[in-house]
Structure 1
Amino acid sequence: MTKRHLISTLALGGAAALALSGCASGAEAETLDNGDRKDLTIAVFNGWDEGIAASELWKAVLEEQGYDVELEYADVAPVYQGLSDDDYDVVLDTWLPITHQDYIDEYGDELVDLGAWNEDAKLTIAVNEDAPVDSLADLAANADAFDNRLVGIEPGSGLNRVTTDSVIPTYGLDGMDYLTSSTPAMLAELTAATDAGENIAVTLWRPHWAYDAFPIKDLEDPEGMLGDAEGIHSFGGKSFEENFPTLAGWLKDFRMDSELLYSLENAMFNENDSDDYGPVVEQWIADNQEYVDSLTS
């Protein structure tokens, strides 16, 4: 990942988080021959690259089908509020039953669960592969080796909640400085530390392209505070099935294993020096045409 990519991603996330973008009302919207509204707004969580990758893929696929697709970047909490108000149509990156469960408990009655498209999601604490510890149980005793710092992501993320409420108290990490700001900022810290050969501990998750880009390893979690594997679900807003009956069916059938997801993420974030994902996704679609065709068959 390039420094340019990190900075521009951070800028994009910050700008997009300032406001929600409203959609045209159903009565005013143009309709496609398949019965779906033509204009579609996909909410994308700032910094969550599997969601960015899946959203860019579906954007390309649906635009070929005649949809006008807008990707709106925002933090997690405003997305679920926006879905419940029909400000957004769908989000493709809800982790259950742990990471985003609080938001589903609050807003779930107004939303529609379109099912899990990947079942291998996992929250992690990662360190450089030559770090002097292999388990979270040993991190507190070796905090000095990491400059007494644990680098996190967005304060409003489910990963931050699990880290704060479960990981830190269980493993006695209260004495470490737990830094939260954004995923791009965390990745910038990870880049700098691994380039310099320094120890670093970060909150991370699988699947994520960082595991291919950096020499890192997961710390063992003997108490199970980060949970087991989760499912990555698509969730529609309260009017989604009414406004997009065909797309709702496609997303209910959507499946993408981690190997495919890693290949798309690597193409977009690890092997690409530009923030223009369009050509990269177009090439990935051409290389995986049979799979992509199955998404709307």
Structure 2
Amino acid sequence: MKNRTKILSAIGLGAAAALALSACSPPGTTSGSATVDNGDQKAMKMVVFNGWDEDTAASELWKYVLDQKGYDVTLDYADVAPAYQGLSQGDYDAVLDTWLPNTHKSYMEKYGDDLDDLGAWNDQASLEVTVNADAPIDSLADLAAHEDDFGGRIVGIEPGAGLTSVVKDKVMSAYGLEDWDLVTSSTPAMLSELKKSEQDGSDIVVTLWRPHWAYNAFDVKDLEDPKGALGDNETIHTVVKKDFGDDFPQAEKWLAAFKMDSDTLYSLEDALVNSGADQSEYQGIVEQWAGEHQDYVDSLTK
């Protein structure tokens, strides 16, 4: 009887301690068991690829949409490799910017058993090697002969990006560019050099992709790829952790039905990236954009 009393007392103390800890939780935090009205878990964590502006736009949009439905969506920005690793381990719930069948093929092959592909939301994607519009060439086949014009360098993006691998491993060897420098650092750094070259009137080669707001902001042209080294056009997919549908059955249906054409995406990208605002201010910009595209935004959760 004394043992039983001790056990019940311990249980009572444990419950009281848990209640006290809960009361001390920071404002805005949610427990893993908290749900929204439709039964989905409340807290969702999306990972966003650093420097991929279409990912920023789509993710910020879905954060706004889901938060309006009562979810608590967190966006974590990360490089591509750790993003997929974290997603496969359940550290993240979803990523909205998987390019298939080429760019992120290696990551899906490595982690795909622990992920679910909800399908493509944009089918107008492509990898590009791009130059200023008045450059003296129109094709990758002519690039090697104009090394002096471009300083023998291609300005790339992040070292771990799929686009970087494709250009380094396929494009440069296919077109005799092995002696050229592929300069990698970040997408913002590449865009900064592109902007500077336009101001200076100098020739430049960059790695770029469609859809991207840079095509609206700069006077550029994509080089023809007669050997197909950049691969065929791609589609942009939503990929989630393996048990996403158990935690978010309704949100999974919405995300699986998600579609966004490039013109709509350009509009949101431009509103965000060229606003001069910090990421902390993006939700206010999305709210304004949503008001101007209300029918489209409403359709995402129908």
Q: Distance in 2 between matches of 1:130 and 1:280?
A: 34
- Correspondent of 2:293 among 271, 288, 292: 288
Q: Does 1:251 align with 2:264?
A: no
**Residue 277 of structure 1 aligns to a residue in which SS?**
helix
How far does residue 208 in structure 1 lie from its aligned partner after superposition?
A: 0.1
User: What is the aligned partner in structure 2 of residue 144 from structure 1?
Assistant: 148
CA contact (8 A) 2:190 2:206 kept: yes
Q: Give the counterpart letter for 1:119 in structure 2.
A: D
Per-residue deviation, residues 182-219 of structure 1 (Å, max 9, x unmatched): 11111111111111111110000000000011111100
How far does residue 241 in structure 1 lie from its aligned partner after superposition?
A: 1.1
Q: Distance in 2 between matches of 1:129 and 1:186?
A: 17
**Residue 226 of structure 1 aligns to a residue in which SS?**
coil
Bigger-Rg structure (1/2): 2
**Residue 296 of structure 1 aligns to a residue in which SS?**
coil
Q: Distance in 1 between matches of 2:218 and 2:188?
A: 14
Q: Does 1:171 align with 2:190?
A: no
User: What is the aligned partner in structure 1 of residue 277 from structure 2?
Assistant: 274
**Residue 232 of structure 1 aligns to a residue in which SS?**
strand
- Correspondent of 2:70 among 49, 66, 70: 66
Describe how 1:40-79 pairs up with structure 2 within 5 A: 40-79=44-83
**Residue 117 of structure 2 aligns to a residue in which SS?**
strand
Q: Give the counterpart letter for 1:102 in structure 2.
A: S
User: What is the aligned partner in structure 2 of residue 191 from structure 1?
Assistant: 195
How far does residue 268 in structure 1 lie from its aligned partner after superposition?
A: 1.3
**Residue 260 of structure 2 aligns to a residue in which SS?**
coil
- Correspondent of 1:88 among 85, 92, 112: 92
- Correspondent of 2:184 among 141, 166, 180: 180
How far does residue 143 in structure 1 lie from its aligned partner after superposition?
A: 1.2
Q: Which runs of 5+ in 2 are unaligned?
A: 1-28
How far does residue 227 in structure 1 lie from its aligned partner after superposition?
A: 1.2
How far does residue 29 in structure 1 lie from its aligned partner after superposition?
A: 2.8
Runs of 4 or more off by more than 2 Å in structure 1?
none
How far does residue 96 in structure 1 lie from its aligned partner after superposition?
A: 0.2
Q: Which runs of 5+ in 1 are unaligned?
A: 1-23
**Residue 232 of structure 2 aligns to a residue in which SS?**
coil
**Residue 167 of structure 2 aligns to a residue in which SS?**
helix
User: What is the aligned partner in structure 2 of residue 134 from structure 1?
Assistant: 138
Q: Distance in 2 between matches of 1:33 and 1:60?
A: 17
> Which stretch shows the higher mean deviation, 123-132 or 273-282?
273-282
**Residue 35 of structure 2 aligns to a residue in which SS?**
coil
**Residue 234 of structure 1 aligns to a residue in which SS?**
strand
State, as a whole percentage, how many aligned pairs show the same letter: 59
User: What is the aligned partner in structure 1 of residue 123 from structure 2?
Assistant: 119
CA contact (8 A) 1:155 1:180 kept: yes
**Residue 236 of structure 2 aligns to a residue in which SS?**
strand
Q: Distance in 2 between matches of 1:220 and 1:123?
A: 11
CA contact (8 A) 2:57 2:272 kept: yes
CA contact (8 A) 2:32 2:43 kept: no
Q: Distance in 2 between matches of 1:157 and 1:39?
A: 29
CA contact (8 A) 1:125 1:202 kept: yes
Q: CA RMSD in A?
A: 1.3
Describe how 1:92-107 pairs up with structure 2 within 5 A: 92-107=96-111
How far does residue 52 in structure 1 lie from its aligned partner after superposition?
A: 0.4
Q: Give the counterpart letter for 2:291 in structure 1.
A: A
CA contact (8 A) 1:118 1:258 kept: yes
**Residue 47 of structure 1 aligns to a residue in which SS?**
coil
How far does residue 45 in structure 1 lie from its aligned partner after superposition?
A: 0.3
**Residue 99 of structure 1 aligns to a residue in which SS?**
coil
CA contact (8 A) 1:85 1:238 kept: no
How far does residue 63 in structure 1 lie from its aligned partner after superposition?
A: 0.7
Q: Distance in 2 between matches of 1:28 and 1:296?
A: 23
How far does residue 28 in structure 1 lie from its aligned partner after superposition?
A: 3.5
- Correspondent of 1:225 among 229, 233, 237: 229
Q: Distance in 2 between matches of 1:28 and 1:190?
A: 44
How far does residue 31 in structure 1 lie from its aligned partner after superposition?
A: 1.2
